[in-house]
């Protein structure tokens, strides 16, 4: 086992309670908004329409319609890694706990968009594996954002290290956690590409 991976697992063990709380909050919000959406199905198309106005969902569809698993997996990995790095990790070095909060908003949005409603509801059977893998990657990144905020902006009483040293420590922790984030996102991207290209057709 590589040193970054060992370091990441040690961090999770050392901060087990906080890691469990981040997991519980993420999946709790996901389950809550999915339940609300199942009870009020009209929410889903409204949110999907809003998302399509911001994100080029037609381009995403073309990636999968290509039928090329490697191409689709690469594009998916690039997007998901970009979300983890640019929207969860990096902002958290400027705004305390931003990434952790963003991940929770992300979880709530996914609860709405992935609610099994309509003619394609059964597609969530194979896609649920994709969601679980990618969610865990986002949770690890959100946990890193929490550690960044705690170490950098909320030092323990008696902490004498200068801010620069605290930033350095936080960055080292986050980099080691990416030894978990990247493999999870890679696994999720490969499975998602295979699932959408080859499996989903049997569930719709």
Q: Measured between alpha carbons, how far is 71 from 50 in angstroms, rounded to an integer?
A: 27
Q: Which residue has the higher pLDDT, 187 or 66?
A: 187
DSSP for residue 162: -
Phi and psi for 42 in degrees, rounded to 5?
-65, -15
State the pLDDT at residue 67: 84
195 pLDDT more than 80: yes
Round the average pLDDT of the chain to a whole number and report it.
Answer: 91
Question: In Å, how far are 30, 48, 98, 198 from 113, measured between CA atoms?
Answer: 10, 7, 22, 22
Q: Where are the alpha helices (DSSP H) in the chain?
A: 3-14, 16-39, 43-52, 57-65, 69-82, 98-113, 124-153, 163-194
Q: Could you report how far apart the first and last alpha carbons of the chain are, in Å?
A: 41
Q: Which residue has the higher pLDDT, 151 or 65?
A: 151
Q: Measured between alpha carbons, how far is 87 from 5 in angstroms, rounded to an integer?
A: 23
Q: Which tokens belong to 78?
A: 């690039």
Task: Give per-residue burial for 51-63: e unless 16+ CB within 10 Å, then b.
Answer: eeeeeeeeebeeb
What would the pLDDT profile of 45-78 be if each residue is shown by its tens digit? 998 888 765 555 555 677 887 889 999 999 999 9
Q: What is the dihedral of CA 103, 166, 18, 131, to 10 degrees?
A: 30
Q: Which tokens belong to 42?
A: 């009209």
What would the pLDDT profile of 94-143 be if each residue is shown by its tens digit? 999 999 999 999 999 999 999 999 888 998 999 999 999 999 999 999 99
C-alpha torsion sign, points 40, 44, 45, 51: positive
Q: What is the CA radius of gyration of the chain?
A: 18
Domain boundaries, the chain: 3-203
Q: Which residue has the higher pLDDT, 153 or 204?
A: 153
189 pLDDT more than 90: yes
């Amino acid at each position: 086992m590589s040193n970054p991976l060992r370091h990441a697992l040690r961090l999770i063990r050392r901060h087990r309670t906080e890691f469990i709380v981040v997991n519980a909050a993420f999946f709790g919000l996901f389950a809550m908004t999915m339940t609300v959406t199942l009870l009020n199905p009209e929410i889903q198309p409204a949110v999907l329409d809003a998302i399509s106005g911001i994100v080029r969902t037609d381009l995403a569809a073309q990636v999968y319609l290509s039928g090329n698993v490697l191409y689709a997996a690469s594009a998916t990995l690039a997007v998901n890694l970009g979300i983890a790095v640019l929207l969860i990790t990096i902002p958290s070095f400027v705004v305390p706990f931003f990434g952790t909060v963003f991940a929770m908003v992300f979880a709530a949005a996914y609860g709405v968009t992935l609610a099994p409603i309509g003619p394609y509801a059964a597609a969530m059977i194979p896609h649920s594996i994709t969601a679980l893998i990618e969610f865990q990657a986002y949770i690890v990144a959100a946990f890193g954002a929490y550690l960044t905020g705690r170490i950098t902006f909320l030092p323990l009483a008696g902490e004498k290290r200068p801010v620069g040293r605290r930033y350095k420590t936080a960055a080292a922790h986050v980099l080691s956690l990416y030894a978990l984030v990247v493999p999870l996102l890679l696994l999720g991207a490969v499975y998602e590409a295979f699932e959408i290209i080859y499996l989903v057709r049997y569930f719709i």
